[in-house]
Amino acid sequence: MTSLTQPARGQHTKERLLDAAETLFAERGIKATSLRQITARASANLAAVNYHFNSKEALTQAVFTRRLDPLNGERLRLLGAAEKASGDSPVTLETTLHAFLDPTVKLWTEAPAFMLLLGRLEFEADEKLHGFYLTQFEEVLIRFKAAVTRALPDVPMKDLFWRIHFLLGAMVHAVTCHADLEWISGGLCQTQPFQEMVDRLVAFGVTGLRATPLYPEGNR
């Protein structure tokens, strides 16, 4: 098994370019990374990017699909399995959150640079890339939306969306800003190993999602 974040000698140039681009995009941003930096890190020639991908934009999209396809596939597979196992009764909120988070943690362990890049994407992406990114999550959104709604039938949809939005923010922030946590806590909290963070995230999310609605009508 070769490393997923650092270029290795044996890999094909195309793979090495993807690895190098992923790492550099995560470290310094997409626009701020030049093709020269990418090809240098991949031990490839400057012209290789345009030979293998035609453009920097196409390389960027390839960096994302390579990881997002398996990630979202696994999320849907886990949720589907849980739904099958629970029969007519709804899947619990904890199981649903884990179906979403566990594949994330797996990817996080295997390719930490990519998770960082995902966190950055909201700001890095131009209109085109952002649209492409949203379509990658379309099915996941529909399926998990339905599952959470079924797990929490008494919480109005509007409250749920707000809370899910906050929870996603907590997740993204946790992934991208470990350094800040360590700074804030004066070193007391560590983000390695990941499992503790995930446990805490799930607990935080379950508590937040389960709270009684803020406005009685639920649709202020």
Partner DNA sequence: GTCTATAGCATGATAGAC
Partner DNA sequence: GTCTATCATGCTATAGAC
Per CB under 7 A, 11 contacts DNA: no
**46 interacts with, out of DNA, a second copy, none, CB within 5 to 8 A per kind:** DNA
Please report, as residue ranges, which positions from 119 to 138 form the binding site for a second copy (by CB under 8 A): 119-120, 122-124, 134
Q: Which helix (H) or strand (E) holds 179?
A: helix 178-184
**48 interacts with, out of a second copy, DNA, none, CB within 5 to 8 A per kind:** DNA
Please report, as residue ranges, which positions from 12 to 51 form the binding site for DNA (by CB under 7 A): 13, 33-37, 44-51
160 contacts 151 by C-beta, under 8 angstroms: no
Per DSSP, 212 falls in state: P
The number of C-alpha atoms within 13 Å of 123 and in the hemisphere containing its C-beta is 11
Per CB under 8 A, 29 contacts a second copy: yes
**146 interacts with, out of a second copy, DNA, none, CB within 5 to 8 A per kind:** none
| Coil, helix or strand at residue 87 | coil
Q: Which is nearer to a second copy, 51 or 183 (by Cβ)? A: 183
Residues 6+ apart with CB under 8 A from 169: none
Please report how close the Cβ of residue 63 comes to DNA at its closest, in angstroms: 14
Separation CA 132–CA 137 (nearest Å) = 9
Per CB under 8 A, 112 contacts a second copy: no
Please report, as residue ranges, which positions from 43 to 102 form the binding site for DNA (by CB under 7 A): 44-52, 54-57
Give the C-alpha distances (Å, rounded to integers) separating 145 from 59, 81, 151, 161: 31, 16, 10, 9
Angle at 62 between CA 60 and CA 68, to 5 degrees: 110
Please report, as residue ranges, which positions from 157 to 176 form the binding site for DNA (by CB under 7 A): none
Nearest to 211 by CA among 171, 162, 144: 162
Nearest to 18 by CA among 117, 153, 99: 117
**204 interacts with, out of DNA, a second copy, none, CB within 5 to 8 A per kind:** a second copy
Q: Which residues bind a second copy (CB under 8 A)?
A: 29, 31-32, 119-120, 122-124, 134, 141, 145, 157-159, 161-174, 176-177, 180-181, 183-185, 188-189, 196-197, 199-201, 203-204, 207-208, 211, 214, 220
